[in-house]
């Protein structure tokens, strides 16, 4: 999925959660969600976040290449194990595995005394998870999402006929559809609630 699709999808879910009082508007959580939604593509220099954080992107790729070189002896011992480990160090590898948001969420639990940082990390973890879930809507899905369990399995959320090609017309239609949902949420929930509060306070002071 393109970065536009990721951002629109993630914030549609956040808007829905706020509309149904499952979540509240928290600026640091929202910032974490924003960055977390983009982060899994950091291993791709041409991605949106790879362009914004070039040094970090190239550093991660360098580390991946270094580890792949160190893993070469495993290739001669167990070719299948080498391929699974090598995939982990590729695009849609470890940054697209469920283990990443789980680790991030566990880390956030250590910051019970620093709530601002906790909210940011939890938003970041949720953003990573949503990014992964959104990529499962695409034709390729995610291979090894449950790594280290089922490292060779490809995970998708829809039948192949309903999954869309990254950057294709079907993804554009999907994005437009989500934008309409956001407009509906904005006016039906948030805008109406603001009007109700306005009338309430007006009546109080009349």
Question: What's 25's DSSP letter?
Answer: -
- Calculate the alpha carbon distances from 13 to 9, 16, 40, 161 in Å: 6, 5, 18, 24
The predicted model gives 158-170 an average pLDDT of 86
Q: What is the pLDDT of residue 73?
A: 86
Round the average pLDDT of the chain to a whole number and report it.
Answer: 85
The beta-carbon contacts of 17-22 under 8 Å, at least 24 apart in sequence, are: 18/189, 18/190, 19/185, 19/188, 19/189, 19/190
Residue % of the chain over a pLDDT of 70: 91
Secondary structure element (H or E) that encloses residue 184, with its range: helix 169-185
Q: In terms of residues, how long is the chain?
A: 206
Q: Taking 50 as the threshold, does the pLDDT of residue 201 lie above it?
A: no
Q: Are 89 and 68 in contact (CB under 8 A)?
A: yes
Q: Are 23 and 116 in contact (CB under 8 A)?
A: no
Q: What is the pLDDT of residues 83-127, one digit of tens each?
A: 877 878 877 889 999 999 999 999 988 876 778 889 999 999 999
Task: Please classify residue 156 by burial: count the beta carbons closer than 10 Å to its beta carbon, then call 0-12 exposed, 13-18 middle and 19+ buried.
Answer: middle
């Amino acid at each position: 999925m393109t970065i536009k699709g990721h951002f629109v999808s993630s914030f549609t879910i956040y808007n829905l959660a706020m509309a149904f009082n499952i979540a509240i508007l928290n600026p640091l959580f929202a910032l974490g969600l924003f960055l977390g939604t983009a982060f899994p593509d950091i291993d791709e220099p041409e991605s949106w976040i790879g362009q914004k954080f070039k040094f970090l992107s190239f550093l991660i790729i360098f580390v991946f290449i270094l580890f792949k070189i160190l893993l070469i002896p495993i290739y001669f011992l167990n070719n299948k194990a080498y391929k699974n480990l090598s995939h982990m160090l590729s695009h849609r590898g470890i940054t697209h595995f469920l283990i990443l948001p789980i680790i991030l969420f566990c880390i956030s639990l250590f910051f019970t005394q620093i709530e601002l940082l906790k909210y940011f990390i939890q938003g970041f973890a949720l953003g990573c998870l949503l990014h992964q879930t959104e990529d499962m809507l695409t034709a390729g899905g995610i291979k090894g999402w449950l790594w280290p369990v089922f490292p060779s399995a490809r995970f998708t959320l829809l039948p192949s006929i309903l999954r869309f090609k990254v950057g294709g017309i079907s993804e554009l239609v999907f994005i437009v559809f989500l934008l309409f949902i956001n407009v509906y949420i904005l006016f039906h929930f948030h805008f109406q609630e603001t009007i109700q509060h306005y009338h309430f306070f007006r009546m109080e002071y009349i």
